[in-house]
């Protein structure tokens, strides 16, 4: 489905009328960050979540040839404070699940090129000694390197509704934080939702326990006023991680939204309403908005007033499992970098009972 969505989205964007206006930046564009996530590298046992090292190497080559600014997620607050006039996009690289396959070639290449990155781990699974995970002794070495940031998932990487109850779910999060402190001697600041399962109650728990940013698996661009516990990332796998997609997404811009319905990622039933609002400084371009469904391609949208985007759920059929919707707004032609720019907002939903 991800491949179908990416192909359909790229085709529709290419075939849509090119902007008849120049790109005008909004507050936060200069400090925006496109965050990428990888899972496994060259791992035959997990083909849907793996990216070939050959393609990963091409990503690194593009970072250099396009002069992309790779930041450490530890440095995000300082990044926001900088008043750079540089038009080069900023990006960040992350790895989910702490899989050992990244250690053979990907991590050595990043360290050689002095490119910062973040690894998210599940401490409970490491304690089980699972051989396909990076073990604590190696993580301790990596944590001493200023290029490397270690973040956490839950103690075990699994869907939120796989827990017996809410208490067990929250305990898994707290256990991961405690174990991280015991082994690495610091409090984790970064968290990534397993499978992208987000909810407001979990975000509050993370905030109270020292987590400063939490990352989902919906596509989009991080910006200064982005909700800190709902940070988007572009996933890179063999199906949706080509070198062309990597460089195209690096130049994406944030599409700020507010008052999104539904608020949480995991729902028992198909929602009655599916909508969000955009800020006043983008409302002149709302007519260029297009949305794409992971299984249906381009879908109809309704604009209510000047700011509210409504996606008729009845037109999508009965949702079940994971559903992705990506919405874009034409940002205009950027003469400084000779590129058409797009603002991007991604939504990830998982309906547990069709």
The pLDDT value recorded for residue 270 is 80
Structure tokens at 149: 């940031």
Q: How far apart are alpha carbons 277 and 287 in whole angstroms? A: 14
CATH 3.30.750 fits 259-351, yes or no: no
The pLDDT value recorded for residue 312 is 83
The pLDDT value recorded for residue 297 is 87
Question: Residue 129: is it exposed, middle or buried by C-beta count within 10 angstroms (0-12/13-18/19+)?
Answer: exposed
The pLDDT value recorded for residue 88 is 87
Which residues lie below 8 Å from residue 162, measured CB to CB, with a gap of 6+? none
pLDDT, tens digit only, all 354 positions of the chain: 444 455 445 545 544 445 568 898 998 898 999 999 999 999 988 889 999 999 999 999 999 999 999 999 999 999 988 866 667 899 999 999 999 999 999 999 999 999 999 999 999 999 999 999 999 999 999 999 999 999 999 999 999 999 999 999 999 999 999 999 999 999 999 999 999 999 889 999 999 999 999 999 999 999 999 999 999 999 999 999 999 999 999 999 999 999 999 888 898 888 877 899 999 999 988 989 999 988 788 988 999 998 999 988 766 766 777 888 999 999 999 998 999 999 999 999 898 876
Question: In sequence order, what DSSP letters do the residues of 88-134 get, joined into one string?
Answer: S-EEEEEESTTBGGGGTTHHHHHHHTT--EEEEE-HHHHHTT-TTB-
Which residues lie below 8 Å from residue 33, measured CB to CB, with a gap of 6+? 71, 76, 79, 90, 91, 92, 221, 222, 223
The pLDDT value recorded for residue 351 is 86
Contact between 34 and 222 under an 8 Å Cβ cutoff? The reply is: yes
Contact between 324 and 294 under an 8 Å Cβ cutoff? The reply is: yes
H or E, element range at 167: helix 166-184
DSSP type of residue 18:
P
With CA atoms as reference, report the closest residue to 348 among 215, 190, 171, 181: 215
Contact between 332 and 19 under an 8 Å Cβ cutoff? The reply is: yes
Contact between 38 and 228 under an 8 Å Cβ cutoff? The reply is: no
The pLDDT value recorded for residue 84 is 64
CATH number of 27-255: 3.20.20.370
The pLDDT value recorded for residue 273 is 76
Q: Where are the domains of the chain?
A: 27-255, 259-351
Contact between 350 and 27 under an 8 Å Cβ cutoff? The reply is: no
Contact between 148 and 102 under an 8 Å Cβ cutoff? The reply is: no
Contact between 35 and 215 under an 8 Å Cβ cutoff? The reply is: yes
Q: How far apart are alpha carbons 286 and 271 in whole angstroms? A: 24
Residue 223: Cβ within 10 Å count: 21
């Amino acid at each position: 489905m991800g491949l179908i969505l990416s192909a359909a989205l790229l085709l529709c964007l290419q075939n849509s009328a090119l902007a008849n206006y120049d790109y005008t930046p909004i507050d936060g564009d200069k400090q925006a960050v496109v965050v990428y996530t990888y899972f496994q590298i060259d791992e035959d046992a997990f083909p849907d979540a793996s990216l070939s090292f050959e393609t990963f190497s091409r990503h690194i080559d593009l970072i250099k040839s396009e002069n992309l600014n790779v930041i450490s997620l530890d440095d995000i607050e300082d990044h926001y404070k900088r008043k750079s006039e540089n038009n080069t996009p900023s990006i960040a690289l992350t790895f989910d699940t702490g899989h050992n396959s990244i250690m053979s070639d990907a991590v050595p290449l990043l360290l050689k090129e002095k490119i910062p990155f973040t690894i998210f781990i599940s401490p409970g699974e490491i304690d089980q000694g699972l051989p396909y995970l990076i073990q604590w002794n190696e993580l301790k070495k990596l944590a001493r390197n200023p290029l490397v940031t270690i973040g956490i998932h839950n103690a075990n990487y699994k869907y939120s509704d796989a827990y017996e109850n809410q208490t067990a779910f929250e305990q898994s999060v707290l256990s991961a934080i405690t174990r991280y402190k015991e082994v690495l001697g610091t409090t984790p600041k970064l968290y990534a939702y397993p499978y992208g399962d987000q909810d407001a109650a979990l975000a509050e728990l993370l905030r109270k326990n020292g987590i400063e940013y939490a990352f989902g698996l919906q596509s989009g661009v991080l910006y200064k006023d982005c909700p800190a516990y709902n940070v988007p990332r572009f996933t890179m796998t063999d199906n949706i991680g080509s070198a062309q997609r990597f460089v195209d997404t690096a130049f994406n811009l944030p599409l700020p939204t507010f008052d999104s319905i539904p608020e949480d990622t995991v729902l028992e039933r198909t929602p009655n309403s599916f909508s969000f609002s955009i800020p006043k400084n983008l409302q002149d371009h709302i007519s260029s908005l297009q949305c794409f469904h992971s299984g249906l391609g381009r879908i109809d949208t309704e604009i209510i007033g000047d700011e509210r985007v409504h996606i008729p759920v009845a037109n999508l059929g009965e949702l079940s499992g994971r559903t992705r919707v990506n919405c874009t707004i034409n940002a205009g032609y950027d003469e400084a970098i000779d590129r058409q720019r797009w603002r991007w907002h991604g939504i990830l939903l998982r309906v547990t009972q069709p």
